[in-house]
Amino acid sequence: MTLETVLVVAAALVGVGVYGALSQQSFVMIMMGIELIINGALLAGVGLWAYSTGGSPKGQMLGVVILTVMAVEAALGFAVMTNIYRVRKADITEKTKRLRG
């Protein structure tokens, strides 16, 4: 697999993520789009690191750390969405125009 292939796949992930995040109104779909964007950026970064340093494991470890942070971020995001749904009975962004009071 070449660097160009890795970057094309990463760009495709970012593109699909941007489309998914901007075209949907459901909180879950927006979060999935954001996760795809971050995964595409992570794939591009780790791919560049692997091809520029000859496969150094430091880049792979950085990728694992970023994936762990992404998992925590997703859990917190879903917790916030669950709380908004419990309080406001809102499952799409249009129903949460006013989050104060």
Higher pLDDT pick, 97 / 19: 19
Which domains does the chain possess? 3-96 (1.10.287.3510)
pTM of this structure = 0.79
For residue 66, name the pLDDT band (cuts at 50, 70, 90): confident
Average pLDDT over residues 28-43: 91
Burial code (b: 16+ CB inside 10 Å, e: under 16) for 65-91 equals ebeeeeeeeeeebeeebeebeeeeebe
